[in-house]
Amino acid sequence: MFVVLATFPGKALAEKIAKMLLDKQLAGCVQVLGPVKSTFLWKGKKETAKEYLCLITTLKPKFKSLEKLIRHHHPCEAPQIIALGVTRASASHYRRIQSVLKI
């Protein structure tokens, strides 16, 4: 199981992507948080932006398709899409994610 961190420049886009990921069964759950203030280095400069953070629960076989969908709809050249491996989860939650993602 992975939790994917992905940021988006607007709430509407974050919610649209969340819905698409669920509709295409690429995620079992998505939380949209924000706005959050992001500070990052981009092309040699320090930048600050208001963004919306999605916490996306998925499984390893779904990650490549999930990443492709986000990249296709994201306006940024190098969007944040970071998968963190889950080392422990409740058995019931894991089974639910497996079930809804058909794995």
What are the tens digits of pLDDT across the range 39-90? 999 999 999 999 999 999 999 999 999 999 999 999 999 999 999 999 999 9
Residue-range domains of the chain with CATH: 2-100 (3.30.70.120)
Provide the whole-model pTM. 0.96
pLDDT computed for residue 83 by the predictor:
98
Q: Which helix (H) or strand (E) holds 22?
A: helix 11-23
- What is the per-residue pLDDT for 6? 98
pLDDT at site 41: 96
The per-residue pLDDT for range 15-26, each reduced to its tens digit, is 999 999 999 999
Stretch 9-35: mean pLDDT, rounded?
98
What is d(CA 98, CA 102) in angstroms, rounded to the nearest whole number? 6
